[in-house]
């Protein structure tokens, strides 16, 4: 029975991953592509290499910069050559196919985790409450970390990747436990603890780079942060509804 329950959740997650892909293509992915034009200095946009830009051609200006930023730019360096994917390490020829695959895997992963939380908490996700489960997932996985680390575009300055990942994971974990205590428990001390857990991650400053100058126009970054959160909310509602529907239809929530 539990295998069936988890398989149902997994399938719902895969479907949510497929469905969110065209939603991403409405706004966030065009914005990423736009930002990459600035990152690569392509399409007539000068890269902001403060010291070298005047001395070398823009194609070379990225060399020293790439060294300075480590793997960050290296991953994108092939794209500077022109073709979107020419020579990059992606598993697929098509960038859209890579995006679809990554969405499906992410959707399946988050769906399993959502179903796991329900299982561990002894609650059931149904079509009726699925959207609320999804919104709770959104709050924990997208909204809370975005308070410290707003969704960023390529080429935006950022602190050490591992430090940001650690902060992100800590924030998501504490927010999830906090929401559990606040929403699914009745005991007053636990609810107070829940509120505290929601606040605590934001008392530790998220890692930010010392230098904030960026080649990306601020308007583009703001537009992207909002688009990313809106897309994330749509994804999580789809995911919650999907898992709820799958549980009602195929999985028994009684473990």
Partner 1 sequence: MTTDSRTVAQGATNTRLAAGFFALFLGAFFVWGAGFAHSAALHDTAHDVRHAFGFPCH
Angle at 150 between CA 148 and CA 152, to 5 degrees: 140
Per-state percent for the chain, helix, strand, coil, to nearest 5? 70, 0, 30
- Is there binding between residue 29 and partner 1 (CB under 8 A)? yes
Say how many C-beta atoms besides its own lie within 10 A of residue 101's C-beta: 16
Whichever of 53 and 102 has its CB closer to partner 1, that residue is: 102
Residue 214 main-chain phi, psi, to 5 deg: -145, 145
* Binding span for partner 1 by CB under 8 A among 60-68, 123-131, 150-158, 241-249: 150-158
The helix/strand/coil state of 205 is coil
- Is there binding between residue 119 and partner 1 (CB under 8 A)? yes
Nearest distance in Å: CB 71, partner 1: 7
Site for partner 1 in 36-55 (CB under 8 A): none
Whichever of 142 and 241 has its CB closer to partner 1, that residue is: 142
- Is there binding between residue 106 and partner 1 (CB under 8 A)? yes
Whichever of 196 and 230 has its CB closer to partner 1, that residue is: 230
CB contact at 8 A, 45 and 138: no
Q: CB neighbours of 63 closer than 8 A, spacing ≥ 6?
A: none
- Is there binding between residue 151 and partner 1 (CB under 8 A)? yes
Interface with partner 1 (CB under 8 A), residue from 8, 9, 16, 239:
9
- Is there binding between residue 75 and partner 1 (CB under 8 A)? yes
Q: For the chain, what is the radius of gyration of the CA atoms?
A: 21
Nearest distance in Å: CB 201, partner 1: 14
- Is there binding between residue 222 and partner 1 (CB under 8 A)? no
Asked whether the CA dihedral 21, 26, 30, 31 is positive or negative, the reply is negative
Nearest distance in Å: CB 147, partner 1: 11
Q: CB neighbours of 4 closer than 8 A, spacing ≥ 6?
A: 250, 251, 252
- Is there binding between residue 103 and partner 1 (CB under 8 A)? yes
Nearest distance in Å: CB 148, partner 1: 10
Residue that is written with structure tokens 């149904």 in the block: 126
Classify residue 44 as left (phi > 0), alpha (psi -120 to 50) or beta: left
- Is there binding between residue 158 and partner 1 (CB under 8 A)? yes
Closest listed residue to residue 47, CA positions, set 75, 32, 37: 37
For partner 1, the binding residues (CB under 8 A) are 2, 5-6, 9, 24, 28-29, 32, 69, 71-72, 75, 88-92, 95, 98-99, 101-103, 105-106, 108-117, 119-120, 122, 142, 145-146, 149-154, 158, 161, 164-165, 167-168, 224-225, 228-229, 231-232, 235, 255
């Amino acid at each position: 029975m539990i295998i069936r329950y988890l398989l149902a959740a997994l399938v719902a997650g895969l479907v949510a991953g497929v469905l969110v892909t065209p939603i991403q293509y409405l706004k966030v992915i065009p914005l990423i592509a736009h930002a990459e034009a600035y990152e690569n200095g392509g399409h007539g946009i000068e890269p902001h290499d403060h010291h070298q830009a005047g001395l070398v051609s823009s194609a070379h200006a990225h060399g020293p910069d790439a060294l300075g930023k480590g793997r960050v730019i290296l991953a994108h360096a092939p794209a500077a050559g022109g073709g979107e994917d020419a020579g990059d390490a992606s598993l697929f020829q098509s960038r859209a196919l890579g995006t679809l695959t990554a969405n499906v895997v992410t959707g399946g992963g988050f769906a399993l985790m959502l179903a796991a939380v329900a299982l561990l908490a002894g609650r059931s996700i149904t079509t009726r409450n699925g959207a609320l489960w999804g919104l709770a997932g959104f709050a924990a996985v997208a909204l809370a970390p975005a308070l410290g680390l707003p969704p960023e575009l390529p080429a935006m300055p950022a602190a050490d990747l591992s430090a940001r990942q650690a902060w992100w994971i800590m924030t998501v974990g504490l927010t999830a436990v906090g929401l559990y205590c606040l929403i699914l428990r009745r005991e007053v001390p636990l609810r107070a603890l829940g509120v505290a857990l929601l606040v605590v991650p934001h008392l530790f400053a998220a890692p930010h780079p010392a230098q904030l100058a960026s080649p990306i126009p601020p308007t583009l970054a703001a537009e992207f942060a909002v688009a990313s959160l809106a897309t994330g909310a749509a994804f999580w509602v789809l995911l919650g509804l999907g898992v709820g529907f799958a549980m009602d239809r195929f999985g028994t929530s009684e473990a």
